[in-house]
Amino acid sequence: MMSDNSLHVYSALDYAHTGMCVVDNEYNVIFWNKRLVEWTLITKEKIACKNITLFCPALKEKRNTIRLNEIFKGGPPVIFSSQIHKHLFPAPLANGEFRIQHVTVSAIPSQDGTHHHALFAVEDVTELTLRMSELDKARHEAEAANRSKSDFLANMSHEIRTPMNGILGMCHILMTSGLTEDQINYACMIDRSAKTLLNIINDILDFSKIEAGKMNLIPIPFDLRRIVEDVVQMLSFASEKKGLRLFFEYPEAIERFFIADDGRVRQILINIVNNAVKFTEKGSVSIHVSSTPSDNGTELINLIVKDTGIGIAEEIQPILFKKFNQVDSSSTRKFQGTGLGLAISRQFTRLMGGEITLKSQLGCGSEFTIQLQLPKANPDQIKQLIDVENNPIPFEGKTESFDVRVLLAEDNQINQAVASHILEQLHCQVEVVENGQEAVDILQLKHFDIVFMDCQMPVLDGYSATRTIRDFEQSINQHIPIIAMTAHAIEGDREKCIDSGMDDYISKPIDIHKLLLIMKKYCSHRKKHYSVMVQPSVLIADDDMVTLTELEQTITNLFPNSTIKKASDGVEACMLLGNIRPDIFICDILIPNMDGEAVISYMRRNIQFEKTKIIVITALPGTDPTVNRVQRMGVTEVVFKPIENVKFNEILLNAVKSKNSEPHIDLNDPILPSELSIDYRGLVESSLHGIGIFQNNKFTFSNASLSKIFNKTVDSILNVNISDLYANVVETDITKLEKLLKTKSTKQSTTERDIIQFKSTHHDSVFIDMYSCIIQHKNNIARLVLTTDVSDWMNNKNHNFSNKIVSNDKQLVPKIINQRTEQPKITLHDIPDSIVAVDDLIERLGADEQFATELLIKFSETLPNELNTLQTALDKHECSKIEITAHRIKGAARNLSICGLMETMDVIEHAGRALNITTISEVFSEAKSQADAFISIIKKLPSP
Ligand code: ADP
């Protein structure tokens, strides 16, 4: 019950705008003011002397009783904040919700002074809370908008910096391209404007990054004195121009080596000193360094920048560090700037736990103090820094020379041109790749001293490429300097680059001085033998000397230690293939004597060249059936002329590491004579060996020698059916022939070989060594038939013939069985040089005398037929046939070093082209005697 006395004491509380009540230590209500009556609708009478927890159950909660008990003991006031205890008192609003209450409880002494009561002061903060939450929401929205603005700016700056690189770089190239004086002035103006624009962009970028919370610092050991010196050196030109004295004091006793983000320290100092120079017309600008050591291995560094310039009015000083603030912001300002420099400098200093302060008076100069608490570098770090410093290289960029191999990974062509140009000015050997993957690939193959890596590239970006490179370096215990070279400025560019394993960072637009510093830092000690070198052996076959030389050059550039062999026609290529197993075979399709298709076909059927990568180059259109056929033979790549260098490099690199594609034809198949180019078909047609294709129970191709065996003309053999063919074979051998011509065959027995006896009216019998194999011809299964007349050998010598398939090691057709008559034997070296330049030939064949003998014999056997063809053509005055035949003989003679014959055939070929029959007739007799001399001497060679 509320006593009168109490009423008297507490009645004043009825006038309070705040809800108030007094509760004794047993939670009984002693007083309940009017405000609470209004709010809770609980009358004084109803609640008097009642336990308050009946009406305010939350006060029964333990966490609350603990606090209230302290009050009853006379403890300090407690607050039941509106955020946690929103509705402590049952105070409904008109809308049915409860008032949000802020409750303060204080201890007041009881009237007898023996104990304490609790005085509750209840404030209605409903309105206030709602207002605050609205404000909070608005603040969040504003912050989000600001962040997205900063994000936008950061992104935009990146977009702007990329083309700026192009502008500045191209301008630089332009300036060194022999311009007139006027033009140089214009170019300088572009350069100056572009640089100013770039500074603005950089400032905006830095600021927006700080605001977007994306600016992380990368602390590394650095030389503070060096930074001070550099800044003075950088600004000395500007200060000298104004007649200012610019100097610094860095007392010997002060530590030089600290750990911090050196780039940012440099940037802060440049901003402040640059301003000092800018706003000082006469007198001096000085930097004074002082320090106070602390116990924890750090030092408090003061960099005091003092000028005798225009000074800054006191009232303006506090706002100067806010962004976009300048003392004179009228549009006709005398001094350029964005008003961001000081703001950025302060932000950076604060990010490093420091501060920038200013002392200035209008008209009396300014003194900016940059205060930084920096950890000291340890002795190892100091030693490393001193080592770098001890290798000074003079600063003048143009006279610098770095004999280093630089890999530049950059996808933008303009940027490629700019960076290459600058690097080439420093006498570096620059190689450009277009994406990270190419960089990774080439580094595994070639030695480079340094890599400049763009970050944003197609296929594989610079970060991932660097990670891959660092991974493979671990296994070979190497480390190539990789320098990020990027306009990428969004998510903490520098830190991201370093995180991915890059050593340093150079931002675009690239400037020769920045690049020079990097080169000095990383290339003063050249690391040799960096990469695992690949030394591929390469065979190039092309009759065009220019292409041949170009290809050779390209390969040497890419693989300096490669072995390159060159062939000017297919036969020469095949000869070389007798001795080398190239890693890469580069071949033109249309080459003389034996075309590229035939050579490839041969290689693809020969297990020894299984691993050889074949790159076909051709001027034929992609739609040409030959190209299609070659592609199906499992070549690595078909390159169309004109050859594009960058692309070709890529193909070569791929060829070194890739696997061969699977050929779409059976590799046991032989060449397809009817589909070969004219040169090769000529050889087939004039061959002493029978060559034919048997398909659908008929020959669909036959040369003259084959048709002769069956006693038919070429035309008729193509139309007769199989029974007519058997008619000429001795009966016992018909089954052998059937087997040889059977097109249904399992893969294991695609090749057949046997000696078949033919009936003949002229001789007792004709023995034919017949070889056949399954081929795919015009999309159908067929058999290629190759024959050699071995009658002499069978009749005279009666050798045992082993029915064994001869390996195709050094020949395109089955080995020819010696059919020559007994002759006194000579050696290769007995052949006069006037007939065959034997030494030359042997050298070219890699000292394989046996192979040389085989080839000479083979040619001596085909030569009479060739001469017959020539004679017939001459008789008929068929000049084009004369030209082709002479060209063919010439090619073979050249390959075999049969020099005299080669020269005469050359004359005949040219005379054929000039339709000059008289010359042909004159020279032909000489050719015949040369051929006779050749054939007769070759006959004396022992069969190999
Ligand atoms: P700005 O890019 O305009 O130089 P800053 O943030 O670096 O931007 O400087 C803001 C302004 O502070 C300047 O425009 C100039 O008015 C004033 N200020 C800065 N340094 C000095 C100085 N050493 N002497 C006089 N005024 C200065």
The model's pLDDT over 538-586, given as tens digits with 9 standing for 90+, comes to 999 987 776 777 788 778 877 776 788 888 877 777 767 766 788 899 9
CA of 305 to the centre of ligand 1 (A): 13
Please compute the mean of the pLDDT values over residues 928-932 and round it to a whole number. Answer: 89
Give burial (CB, 10 Å; 0-12/13-18/19+) of 862.
middle
Please compute the mean of the pLDDT values over residues 8-18 and round it to a whole number. Answer: 83
- Quick one: pLDDT at residue 175? 72
Ligand 1 atom 11, closest CA: 326
Contacts of residue 283, defined as CB under 8 A and 6 or more positions apart, other chains included, come to 244, 245, 307, 308, 309, 365
CA of 275 to the centre of ligand 1 (A): 6
- Quick one: pLDDT at residue 272? 93
Instruction: Kindly report, residue by residue over 147-190, the tens digit of the pLDDT.
Output: 777 667 666 666 676 677 678 777 767 776 777 777 877 777 78
pLDDT at 69 > cutoff 50? yes
Least confident range of 317-321, 328-332, 481-485, 588-592: 328-332
Q: How far apart are CA 106 and CA 79, in angstroms?
A: 9
Phi, psi of 892 (to 5 degrees): -65, -45
Bridge-based pairing state of the strands 29-32 and 19-23:
antiparallel
Q: How confident is the model at residue 394 (pLDDT cuts 50, 70, 90)?
A: very low
Contact 927, 901 (CB under 8 A): yes
Q: What tokens were used for 61?
A: 């909660």
Please compute the mean of the pLDDT values over residues 839-854 and round it to a whole number. Answer: 72
Q: What is the DSSP letter of 668?
A: T
- Quick one: pLDDT at residue 325? 55
| Nearest atom of ligand 1 to the alpha carbon of 305 | 23
Please compute the mean of the pLDDT values over residues 686-699 and round it to a whole number. Answer: 77
| Nearest atom of ligand 1 to the alpha carbon of 328 | 16
Phi, psi of 635 (to 5 degrees): -85, 160
- Quick one: pLDDT at residue 29? 93
| Nearest atom of ligand 1 to the alpha carbon of 310 | 25
DSSP labels, 891-912: HHHHHTT-HHHHHHHHHHHHHH
Q: How far apart are CA 122 and CA 308, in angstroms?
A: 62
Q: How far apart are CA 702 and CA 694, in angstroms?
A: 9
Least confident range of 80-94, 285-299, 540-554, 667-681: 667-681
CA dihedral 884, 885, 886, 890 (to 10 degrees): 100
Contact 915, 879 (CB under 8 A): yes
Instruction: Kindly report, residue by residue over 826-841, the tens digit of the pLDDT.
Output: 888 888 888 888 887 7
- Quick one: pLDDT at residue 92? 87
Report for 284-288, 671-675, 827-831: range of highest mean pLDDT: 284-288
Ligand 1 atom 12, closest CA: 326
Instruction: Kindly report, residue by residue over 247-271, the tens digit of the pLDDT.
Output: 999 988 888 899 998 888 988 998 8
- Quick one: pLDDT at residue 823? 46
| Nearest atom of ligand 1 to the alpha carbon of 338 | 2
- Quick one: pLDDT at residue 805? 31
- Quick one: pLDDT at residue 385? 75
Instruction: Kindly report, residue by residue over 416-439, the tens digit of the pLDDT.
Output: 777 887 787 777 888 999 899 999
Q: What tokens were used for 237?
A: 């030109």
| Nearest atom of ligand 1 to the alpha carbon of 365 | 24
Give burial (CB, 10 Å; 0-12/13-18/19+) of 505.
buried
Residue whose pair of structure tokens reads 């791929």 in the numeric block:
654
Q: How confident is the model at residue 879 (pLDDT cuts 50, 70, 90)?
A: confident
Contacts of residue 907, defined as CB under 8 A and 6 or more positions apart, other chains included, come to 919, 923
Name the percent of the chain lying above pLDDT 90. 15
Q: What is the DSSP letter of 793?
A: I
Q: How confident is the model at residue 397 (pLDDT cuts 50, 70, 90)?
A: very low
Ligand 1 atom 19, closest CA: 275
| 3-state SS, residue 525 | coil
Least confident range of 225-239, 289-303, 786-800: 786-800
Separate counts of helices (H) and strands (E) for the chain: 33, 27
CA of 219 to the centre of ligand 1 (A): 28
Please compute the mean of the pLDDT values over residues 663-674 and round it to a whole number. Answer: 39
Which of 235, 281, 326 gets mutated to test ligand 1 (max ligand atoms within 8 A of its CB)? 326
- Quick one: pLDDT at residue 844? 61
DSSP labels, 644-656: PHHHHHHHHHHHH
Residue 335's closest CA among 326, 344, 343?
Answer: 326
- Quick one: pLDDT at residue 1? 45
CA of 40 to the centre of ligand 1 (A): 61
| Nearest atom of ligand 1 to the alpha carbon of 325 | 10
Q: How many residues does the chain have?
A: 944
Report for 139-143, 194-198, 233-237, 747-751: range of highest mean pLDDT: 139-143
Report for 389-398, 416-425, 799-808: range of highest mean pLDDT: 416-425
pLDDT at 393 > cutoff 50? no
| Nearest atom of ligand 1 to the alpha carbon of 275 | 20
Q: How far apart are CA 334 and CA 162, in angstroms?
A: 30
DSSP labels, 560-581: TT-EEEEESSHHHHHHHHTT--
Q: How far apart are CA 460 and CA 437, in angstroms?
A: 5
Q: How confident is the model at residue 630 (pLDDT cuts 50, 70, 90)?
A: confident
Contact 436, 410 (CB under 8 A): no
Please compute the mean of the pLDDT values over residues 799-818 and round it to a whole number. Answer: 34
Please compute the mean of the pLDDT values over residues 849-861 and round it to a whole number. Answer: 79
Contact 25, 115 (CB under 8 A): yes
- Quick one: pLDDT at residue 749? 52
Ligand 1 atom 4, closest CA: 337
pLDDT at 631 > cutoff 80? yes
Q: How far is CA 328 from CA 199, 310, 681, in A?
A: 20, 12, 89
CA of 326 to the centre of ligand 1 (A): 6
Q: How far apart are CA 879 and CA 891, in angstroms?
A: 18
- Quick one: pLDDT at residue 277? 92
CA of 341 to the centre of ligand 1 (A): 8
CA of 339 to the centre of ligand 1 (A): 7
Contacts of residue 121, defined as CB under 8 A and 6 or more positions apart, other chains included, come to 16, 18, 19, 20, 103, 104, 105, 106
Q: How far apart are CA 272 and CA 282, in angstroms?
A: 17
- Quick one: pLDDT at residue 137? 87
Provide the CB-side half-sphere exposure for 142 (13 A, CA): 6
Q: Could you tell me which residue, 160 or 593, shows the higher pLDDT?
A: 160
Q: What tokens were used for 250?
A: 């860095």
Q: How confident is the model at residue 800 (pLDDT cuts 50, 70, 90)?
A: very low
Give the CA angle between residues 28, 31, 36 to the nearest 5°: 110
Say if pTM beats, i.e. exceeds, 0.75: no
Q: How confident is the model at residue 597 (pLDDT cuts 50, 70, 90)?
A: confident
Please compute the mean of the pLDDT values over residues 345-366 and round it to a whole number. Answer: 91
Q: Could you tell me which residue, 792 or 503, shows the higher pLDDT?
A: 503
Contact 171, 195 (CB under 8 A): no
Ligand 1 atom 7, closest CA: 341
Q: How far apart are CA 340 and CA 344, in angstroms?
A: 6
Give the CA angle between residues 145, 147, 149 to the nearest 5°: 70
pLDDT at 294 > cutoff 70? yes
Kindly state the helix (H) or strand (E) to which residue 78 belongs, with its residue range. Answer: strand 78-80
**Ligand 1 neighbours by CB, cut-off 6 Å:** 271, 275-276, 279, 307, 309-310, 312, 320, 326-328, 337-343, 366
- Quick one: pLDDT at residue 663? 43
Contact 635, 621 (CB under 8 A): no
Q: Could you tell me which residue, 897 or 391, shows the higher pLDDT?
A: 897
Please name every residue paired with 371 in a beta bridge, in sequence order, or none if there are none. 302, 355
pLDDT at 528 > cutoff 60? no
- Quick one: pLDDT at residue 537? 86
Q: What tokens were used for 332?
A: 């006709």
CA of 311 to the centre of ligand 1 (A): 10
Q: How far is CA 263 from CA 216, 311, 659, in A?
A: 12, 28, 47
- Quick one: pLDDT at residue 301? 94
Cβ neighbours around 63 below 10 Å, total: 9
R_g over Cα of the chain: 48
Q: What is the DSSP letter of 608?
A: G
pLDDT at 819 > cutoff 60? no
- Quick one: pLDDT at residue 306? 96
CA of 348 to the centre of ligand 1 (A): 17
Bridge-based pairing state of the strands 584-588 and 537-541:
parallel
Q: Could you tell me which residue, 389 or 651, shows the higher pLDDT?
A: 651
Which of 281, 320, 370 gets mutated to test ligand 1 (max ligand atoms within 8 A of its CB)? 320
Which of 204, 239, 275, 320 gets mutated to test ligand 1 (max ligand atoms within 8 A of its CB)? 275
Mean pLDDT for the chain overall: 78
Q: What tokens were used for 261?
A: 């983000």
- Quick one: pLDDT at residue 527? 31
